[in-house]
Amino acid sequence: MKPAVGLSSTTYDGRVLEAKETLTRLARALMNAVMHERRGRRRAGCALAAVLVVGWALVQAAWLNPTRLLVLEPLSNETVTLAIHAAAAALAVAAMLVGLRRPLALSLSTVVVSLSLLVAGVVVVNRHLYSDAEPGFRQTSEAVAATSPDGRFEVVTTVHRGDGDADFWYEEYHVESRAGLWSRRSDFLAVLHHPLGDGGPRVGSVRFGDGAVELSTSDGRQWTIPFDPDEVQVSEWLSMCDDGGTLCQGPLPVE
């Protein structure tokens, strides 16, 4: 190409070289931006996968709730469980779409998706299989039946009533610590079932004794349930022995 009129050959060549250098710099900048964006996507995907896996593990530990913290009790609800695991599966898929390329991160996200969908599926199937076979019960009231002399513990009773197909209602008794966010709940202190037509024996009074919780029932009997304040746990419980409403004290059922 000939130089434009009025430009020397040297000036023209210099401007062409300058234009080439400018285009080269722009091309390199574009390539760097693309590579940086890809690395950023991979890093974001790996970070999301790591947070997801750690969070999923923590949710499982909280769901099991080995220390029986009251603040974690809502995680045992089926609807909450379904929502959490569905969200985990969605985030894992998002981590893959962001741009995961590393085999380990991709494998961990795949595992999270699979396990989350499995747990959510189990919840859905369980609801489908047992929703018609068993009457649905819901908690209708909660009250404090007794408080320890030092104010550290209280016995809480909850009443549960079923739908139209249920021919009984029941009440549960637990010991709860009063430690704010770190409050814990014991296993069952007592579970009493009451037919709709015949109330059967009821708990009349509750008090804390020395290393035990003492209950009086409407049939005139006294019950002493061992209680460990350090573990916030009972070792026995009061329940119905038969359909006739006979009360029995025995070891806690093994899950």
In this predicted structure, the answer to whether residue 123 has a pLDDT above a threshold of 90 is: no
Average pLDDT of span 178-187: 91
* Residue 185 DSSP class: B
Residue 99 contacts by C-beta under 8 Å, 6 or more apart in sequence? 38, 41, 42, 44, 45
Q: What pLDDT is stored for residue 203 in this prediction? A: 92
- Higher pLDDT, residue 203 or 39: 203
Positions of E strands within the chain: 137-147, 153-162, 168-177, 190-195, 203-208, 212-217, 222-228, 233-234, 236-240, 247-251
Across the chain, which distance is largest between two alpha carbons, in Å? Answer: 120
**Per-residue pLDDT reduced to its tens digit, 61-118:** 776 788 888 888 777 666 776 777 677 777 666 666 655 555 655 666 666 666 666 6
| Triad 219, 225, 231: Cα angle to 5° | 150
Q: And the tokens for 116?
A: 């989350």
Nearest to 213 by CA among 159, 249, 255, 246: 249
- Higher pLDDT, residue 151 or 103: 151
Q: What pLDDT is stored for residue 87 in this prediction? A: 72
**101 three-class SS:** coil
In this predicted structure, the answer to whether residue 34 has a pLDDT above a threshold of 50 is: no
| Triad 9, 10, 15: Cα angle to 5° | 100
d(CA 150, CA 177): 11
The Cα-based distances of 156 to 77, 108, 207 in angstroms read 19, 42, 12
Q: What pLDDT is stored for residue 99 in this prediction? A: 55
Average pLDDT of span 111-131: 64
In this predicted structure, the answer to whether residue 209 has a pLDDT above a threshold of 80 is: yes
d(CA 115, CA 80): 16
Secondary structure of the chain: what % helix, strand, coil (to 5)?
Answer: 45, 30, 25
Q: What pLDDT is stored for residue 207 in this prediction? A: 95
d(CA 53, CA 248): 45
Q: And the tokens for 2?
A: 């000939």
Q: What pLDDT is stored for residue 72 in this prediction? A: 80
Tally: H helices and E strands in the chain: 3, 10
